[in-house]
Amino acid sequence: MVFSSLLFLFRFLPIFFGLYLLTPKKMKNLTLFLGSLVFYAWGEPVYVLLMLFSTVSDYFHGIWIEKSLESGHNGRAKGFLISSLVINLAMLGFFKYADFLTGSINGLFGTAIPPLALPLPIGISFYTFQTMSYTIDVYRREVKAQKNFVAFGCFVAMFPQLIAGPIVQYKMIDRQLTERKVTLEGVTDGVRRFCVGLAKKVLLANQAGLVYDTILSWPAESMSVAGTWVGILFFAFQIYFDFSGYSDMAIGLGKMLGFTFPENFRYPYMADSVTDFWRRWHITLGSWFREYVYIPLGGNRKGVKRQVLNLLFVWMLTGIWHGAEWNFLFWGLWFGIWLAAEKLFLLSFLQKIPSVFRHIYAMLLVLAGWAMFSQTEADQLFLVLKAMAGFAQGGFCTQEVLYQLSSNMGLLILLCLGSTPLPARLAFRVKEQFLKESRITAKVLETAVFGIMFFFALAFLVDSTYNPFLYYRF
């Protein structure tokens, strides 16, 4: 897929932004919509029609729901809402879960139903959730139906966050679709944010991924307890810097276009509980499930038993949303169980112990979760979890593990520091210090830092032809 290469993005952006800046304000939505379709069609020439179908379907469903409500036909409005949800979930279910279901049926009943083997449309998990939130909010009378098809098309197909989020609800940007302004300050801030995200992805996530791939590729007899934990630790850093890097790039590109997208990460590895972790990780997905699934189910308003069931159901869905494999279901239930336990009694206990122990507790559970997330094959997942529990064929530690740790210690320190607020705080203090002396000096220094980050990231990109984002497959 063309989306696997960041180099394509660099070929696309100069042409697009040149056209976008030259386009009159009234025509910018059309330029953005058509540009987004070209961007998507370049990698998914057939599935762009699927995205257009979803766009057309929910555009008209939104209008039909609003007209039904205005005329007092609430039952008809509810029918249109159900129709919209069924269409979206049917598309998502067919392309994402059809082969998983047939495989499960074959395994349970010994049948031989052939799989469809259809490639998963890139970004379908994200844009279906966005369009569903739109029709639901129209039904709730929280937003007005968008009558301009091009503006609505921009919301669905907008290329910066189309592929891997953040998940942008319509009500977050409805006014920005018609009233946004492209300013020099916004473009400058956007470029900085884009550079940060690019550096996270290329200089940190990709390098962490190489270490993880090396360690987890060892045969079972070489798998040690320490080695498995170290490998999963590097995977944890890989997925964080990969996904948060994409979100930073999307937010930065949005600012360059005049949009303000929601934040998606807030230093999740600083969390001191599982609850705290999920307030910091993939924030827009958590907000979506809370607003459109957990609260409508009753949330915590119908007693403790119902709250626990609601949590487990929501986290089962969260796991399945990430992929059509059993390991994702286990991953979702793993966190659902711990979140329920924390709400029932664990949080009150955790608040009584020192913060360092709370942090260790949270990170151990998160790393165990990432072990489940990273292994889609049942046999390999069992070996990894068994090794992390202390039962590894290779013993506690091996020379290979010590070599990987020593040779990648500098990278590990960077990963640890980069996942904390320390670099941002340090940069702010340095900037403030130079501002006291000279605003020009501060700007020159800031430009130089971001320029160096961009140069090194680009150099690594040119040297590597394969730079996939992990969340492209979700």
Give Cα separations from 463 to 16, 25, 194 (angstroms). Answer: 25, 39, 20
Token pair of 35, please?
């540009």
Q: Which bin fits 66, alpha (ψ -120 to 50), beta or left (φ > 0)?
A: alpha
DSSP-based three-state secondary structure for 37: helix
**Helices and strands (DSSP H and E) totals, the chain:** 23, 0
202 secondary structure, DSSP code? I
Instruction: Of 125, 197, 156, give the one whose Cα is nearest residue 62.
Output: 156
Give Cα separations from 84 to 25, 27, 168, 325 (angstroms). Answer: 32, 29, 18, 26
Give Cα separations from 253 to 159, 187, 191, 249, 427 (angstroms). Answer: 9, 8, 7, 6, 22
Widest pairwise Cα distance in the chain: 76
Rounded Cα distance between 187 and 193, Å, is 10
Give Cα separations from 401 to 116, 211, 382, 410 (angstroms). Answer: 41, 10, 20, 15
| Number of other CB atoms surrounding residue 260 within 10 Å | 14
Measured in degrees and rounded to the nearest 5, phi and psi for residue 290 equal -65, -45
- Among residues 61, 73, 282, 322, the one annotated as catalytic is 322
322 is catalytic: yes
Instruction: Of 290, 296, 287, 336, give the one whose Cα is nearest residue 313.
Output: 336
Rounded Cα distance between 69 and 19, Å, is 40
Measured in degrees and rounded to the nearest 5, phi and psi for residue 108 equal -80, -40
| Number of other CB atoms surrounding residue 464 within 10 Å | 13
For tokens 């997905």, what's the residue?
285
Q: What share of the chain is helix, strand, coil (3-state, %, to 5)?
A: 75, 0, 25
Catalytic residue annotation: 322
